[in-house]
Structure 1
Amino acid sequence: MTELDQKDRSILRELQREGRLTNLELAERVHLSPTATTERVKRLTREGFILGYAARLAPEKLGRGMIVFVEVKMDRTSDAVFSEFKRVAEATPAIMECHMVAGGFDYLIKARVEDMAAYRAFLSETLLALPGVRETHTYAVMEEVKNTAAIAF
């Protein structure tokens, strides 16, 4: 894998800010020719630095204005239980992020739902219905202070 130079880093920063830049706009911003910029973007993609592109949507307009974080403790920790939990987490649209963590609980979930009633249904019908779930602790977000997918480097 190639080490990133300043031009590569500039390309990545610009694409993180605005993924819909044309190659010409990107080239102008990073002070390279369009051909050199295209080749670098291809290489950065091929080498796995760029994973893809996506639009940021307005959750409130789509009926997903409420964010909850849920700590999940398991009563059994076997490969089968972890595999089933992972399968359900990946298949559940309300779950935006699910992380197995070290510490006082097993998983940390970030979910987006319409409102508290929708969260209650999600909790009882999805999370608590999973085998091995012993306990959950929920944190409802009152104000989203910062939300970014950008990686600082």
Structure 2
Amino acid sequence: MNEKINLDSHSLLILQELQRDSRQTVQQIADRVGLSPTPCWKRIKEMEATGVISGYTALVDRAKVGLNLLVVVEANLSQHTEELVRQFERAVAATPEIVRCLSTTGQADYILTVLVPGISEYEQFLHTTLFKLPGVTHVRSSIVLKEIKAEVRLPVVIHAHPPTQPTPSSRARKRASS
């Protein structure tokens, strides 16, 4: 299991900004989170090094690239031996149409998210790929009619009060009291 890394409020704000728009400059991010560019850059590099930030990517509109059908698939395996599970998971990882796979409790052993151009392509995918995955004994498909929410940003929460930038009047008071 991954170890949780404790992040302060500045780092959490940086994560929020990077998730909102990772094409911002360090200067823009620093301005938004109340840091100067160098400490902001150091925090980003540290979060990359520790794996908090695992990469950067472009968000693609699936309909604009012809992936019009989204299917949620519940799959069950015949057995749960270590070797069969490993084979199934390797095969899933190697299948580009399966964009998400979750090992679950409840009715299904796995819940898969599948993207294909249309229903005929999904039918073909079922017969040529899904039914042939190692150990699959049962598949239940749900065609998604409409995506209500498809958020990729993680809800990083700032539990402490976010840092505030000193106002001109507070700087003047600080100098006066020095």
Q: Which of 45, 50, 54 is the matching residue for 1:51?
A: 54
Q: Which of 24, 37, 46 is the matching residue for 1:21?
A: 24
What TM-score, normalized to structure 1? 0.95
Following superposition, the deviation at residue 6 of structure 1 comes to 1.0
1: CA distance, partners of 2:72 / 2:52: 28
**How much identity, in percent, do the aligned residues show?**
34
Q: Which of 77, 101, 104 is the matching residue for 2:104?
A: 101
2: CA distance, partners of 1:130 / 1:44: 37
CA displacement 1:25-72 (0-9 Å, x = unmatched): 111111111111101111111122111110001111212121100000
Alignment match, 2:132: 129
Q: CA RMSD in A?
A: 1.3
Q: Unpaired segments of 5 or more residues in structure 2? A: 158-178
1: CA distance, partners of 2:148 / 2:63: 16
Q: Which has the larger radius of gyration?
A: 2
What TM-score, normalized to structure 2? 0.82
Following superposition, the deviation at residue 2 of structure 1 comes to 5.8
Q: Secondary structure of the equivalent of 1:128? A: helix
1:52 corresponds to which letter in structure 2?
A: G
2:10 corresponds to which letter in structure 1?
A: K
2:114 corresponds to which letter in structure 1?
A: A
Does the 8 Å CA contact 2:26/2:37 hold for their aligned counterparts? yes
CA displacement 1:86-116 (0-9 Å, x = unmatched): 1111111101001111112211000111000
